[in-house]
Amino acid sequence: FGKVPDQQDALCLYTVQIPYKRERRPPPCYLTKWDGLRFLPLVTQPCGNEVISCLAVSDCGKFLGLGTVTGSVAIYISFSLQRLYYVEEAHGIVVTDLAFFPGSRRCRDLQGDHETALLSVAVDSRCKLHLVPNRRTFPVWLLLLLCFISV
């Protein structure tokens, strides 16, 4: 379960569906966001062909972290289940646990000018830090100016 960023008391459930039968060309795994009260699926997105080994939700509820049996690490936006960050084989072997930095002042200082930070741990006994840089946005006035100039 994870918090819903815009709703104080609301919760969402996040699950991963892994196909039972793995073939030479494996079918994708799926990430699903569920309504926390009625337990109805809200959004389902494919999250790749790698088998998911662990899932973490950030304290603020904005991000999801996925670890795989092949050592890859991904970060998704919880609202849309859009992949924001991915490192193939960040570890050489199964990712066993993930943890987002908490929202405390000390952790924000360590995180620096990054949108979020995720720690991953694998069977190789290594811990790796994954930082997601702040996404850049264009000011509306600049976008309008560019449209005006192009016409």
What predicted TM-score, i.e. pTM, was given to this entire model? 0.82
User: How far apart, in Å, are the Cα atoms of 14 and each of 30, 32, 63, 81, 139?
Assistant: 11, 6, 11, 10, 33
Q: How many domains, the chain?
A: 1
Domain extent at residue 72 = 2-150
Strand, helix or coil for residue 145? helix
Q: Specify the pLDDT at position 104.
A: 65
CB atoms under 10 Å from CB of 81, counted, come to 19
CATH number where 53 lies: 2.130.10.10
Residues in the chain predicted with pLDDT less than 70, given as ranges, are 104, 106-107, 109, 136-140, 151
Structure tokens at 136: 């850049």
CB atoms under 10 Å from CB of 59, counted, come to 15
